[in-house]
Amino acid sequence: MEMSHRSKEFMTIASEAEKDLRDIFGVPSDYKVLMNQGGATLQFASIPLNMLGTEGKADYLVTGQWSEKAAKECNKYGTGQVACNTKASKFTTIPGKSEWKLDPEAAYVHYCDNETVSGVEFSYTPDVGSVPLVADMSSNFCSRPIDVGKHAYIYAGIQKNLGPAGMAVGFVHPSYAGGQHELKICPTYMSFKTTADNGSMYNTPACFTMYVMGEYLKYTKKKGGLAYWAEQSDKKSTMLYNCIDGSDGFYCCPVEKSSRSRMNVPFTIKGGNEELEKKFLDGAKKEKLYTLAGHRSVGGCRASLYNGMPIEGVEKLTSFMKSFMDENRQ
């Protein structure tokens, strides 16, 4: 924490972290790797500022609160066109491509790969034709292999599966790393070109965050890469969804099965019985099962299954859920 970010020792840490990111995620050699301060929320503004260019408009697939916020931010600098919006269904589904209203002249199409609040996740890479594709992968980054080459830009706040909060990793196509599409009002510090040209060290970077991320990347390589985390995620989410679906309606997940998230599993108890849900949460704490309350905007319960949650933790949760159901079924 006291090292100079220009020292030989820290430059080694930074370069090893970038190399491991490239190796693990299969980043094409001509793409630039960015390590942006400010987390993914700052990227909501950085993307239109760096990518709108002369088109002045972009399409957004709104499937949850985060993609909704990203589209709203775009409207400060251009036009964030809503190509689909599932708010009417309380963000419980991801509609098929036939329902999207894509503009072939849009500067890019933006989607959020996993929505934490409502618990929906894309199980595929959206096909948007020749329009550049942008993905927010903050909450499922490092949980499965991804096809970087199909995207013009991928960004992810690293606090879910890679390290401490405060930084977002970005993989940017070379056509957007040179400033060709950057708006004149783009702050220097938010410029993809400035960040890329300076190796993410235009100013002092988030040194400790980068160090911790680097250690986690080494650990990921040792465990077998993204295939290992994908296997773990599938096992954990399948175990929990089976418990919910096998409860004969005592527990219910509101999300359409084909759109269910492997990272965030929302559920209600007996149709949203708030008294019973409070009893469940209080009982869970006694078993040392914490942070199971649903997001304040939707209520109910929610279990997050990020990489740091071991399979044993999900086993303990499902065991408690079954015993709670048996005691409170009537």
Active site residue 23: no
Active site residue 160: yes
Annotated active-site residue in 32, 160, 193, 236: 160
Annotated active-site residue in 32, 136, 193, 229: 136
Dihedrals φ, ψ of 139, to 5°?
Answer: -95, -5
Active site residue 326: no
Annotated active-site residue in 20, 66, 113, 236: 66
Question: Annotated active-site positions, please?
Answer: 66, 136, 160
